[in-house]
Amino acid sequence: MIGGGPAGLTCARVLQGHGIEVTVYDADEAVDSRDPGGTLDLHADSGQIALEDAGLLDAFLARARPEGQAKTRRDHHGTVLAEFTPDPGDEAAPEIDRGRLRRMLFDHLRPGTVRWGHRLVRVNPLGDGGHLLEFADGTTVPADLVIGADGAWSKVRPLVSDAAPRHLGVCFLDARFDEVDSRHPEVAAIVGAGHLFSNDNDGRAVILQRNSDGVVRGYIAFRAAPDWHIAAGVDLTDRESIRAYLVREFGHWSPAMRTLIVRNDGDYVPRSFWALPAPLTWDHVPGVTLIGDAAHLMAPFGGHGANLAMLDGAELAHAVSRAVGPDPAATLDEAVGRYESAMFARSGELAVSSNDALVQFFATTDEPDLPPDHEQEHRDYLARAEAYRRERARGRGERAEA
């Protein structure tokens, strides 16, 4: 397994539940050696199914924040356009900090499963489906199945596809507010218990998320090329240089909304939105496959990326177990090929809709981009979860009869 994010760790946990040996290689020095990012909502019809397969759904719910499902949409003057507050007991898509999720998954793997500090350089085919992994420290490792869970810039993907991520025309600056309730009460009041989405219908937006431990993380986003700072004369290492640029760009926003842009604690972290061509498919290559962003990198609108990644991991683990168990129902490559076909069908349409939603949110328009009906969205998550379980049980019953 290349990559120790939620997809790779979920897959490893489910594989171990089937009694299958797996080693995870990750470039990070430790599970918590870098900032993992903000918060995730895990959907009942995908991420939660994967955690249930991993035996970790209760552990997740004990750490999750159902109240974090709340959402507010405002315009750039601060006017509330729409609000959603989850009902008591609503666990259709609770929030969890990325770092807490990664730590939970890691802590439930067998000791020694993850080899930290291993940055993959290349994968060399050996013939007959085998591959040799080469790492930056000179280590080489042979493998009979290589799973690329290594994200947007996957080193494994070129073995199955020449597809590369394309920039979606939007960049953003990751910012944070610490001890928000006491030090930034105005920010806490605007964000509430969950998420704030705000845009000006002309390519600029602020998206803020309540995290655990009194933290709010924010994304100040705008249409731009990846090298926008060069033409703008902005020094990305200089907080005040960035703030001066944002004051100009967001000068037509109300004073209260500009507070969300220039009062953050710490430095801004520049990022940008990229996506793979969607829907992306490939012909199966013996001995290698992909899960998560390595397979279907998409815009974050809709929150499908991490959820699909974890479900990919669980479903691939089940597929592998049907090929290497005491009574195999298929060869390893047949099983992996079937996983890929199902993954393509599961992720393709969602990738297209997520990318389209981002473009629409940042479009110049006279019509406000109103959010979906979140109450209906949550009912749909639960209904699809039940349908997914029924279909899975039917498939297992057919295999048992065969």
**Token duo for residue 171:** 């960049």
338, amino acid identity: R
User: Which distant-in-sequence residues (6+ apart) come within 8 Å of 224 by Cβ?
Assistant: 169, 170, 171
Q: Is 293 annotated as a binding residue?
A: yes
102 is known to lie in a ligand binding site = no
Do residues 54 and 14 lie in contact, with contact meaning Cβ atoms separated by under 8 Å?
yes
309-336 burial, b if ≥16 CB within 10 A, otherwise e?
Answer: bbbbbbbbbbbbbbbbeeeeeeebbebb
Sheet with 216-223, edge to edge strand ranges:
80-84, 71-75, 195-199, 204-210, 216-223, 166-177, 265-275
Nearest residue to 68 (alpha-carbon basis) of 92, 48, 46: 92
- Residue 399 among known ligand-binding residues: no
Name the nearest CA neighbour of 323 among 20, 5, 12.
20
**Residue 192 CB partners (closer than 8 Å, separation 6+):** 70, 72, 210
Task: Identify whether the C-beta of residue 190 lies closer than 8 Å to the C-beta of residue 260.
Answer: yes
CA distance 362 to 73: 14
CA 234 to mean position of chain CA atoms: 29
Task: Label residues 288-299 b or e (16+ Cβ within 10 Å = b).
Answer: bbbbbbbbbbbb
Here the tokens at position 106 are 């890691």
CA distances from 71 to 14, 45, 193, 371 (A): 33, 20, 8, 9
- DSSP, collapsed to helix, strand or coil, labels residue 12 as helix
Q: What residue numbers does the annotated binding site for FAD cover?
A: 41, 98, 293
Q: What residue numbers does the annotated binding site cover?
A: 34, 41, 98, 293
Q: What residue numbers does the annotated binding site for NADPH cover?
A: 34
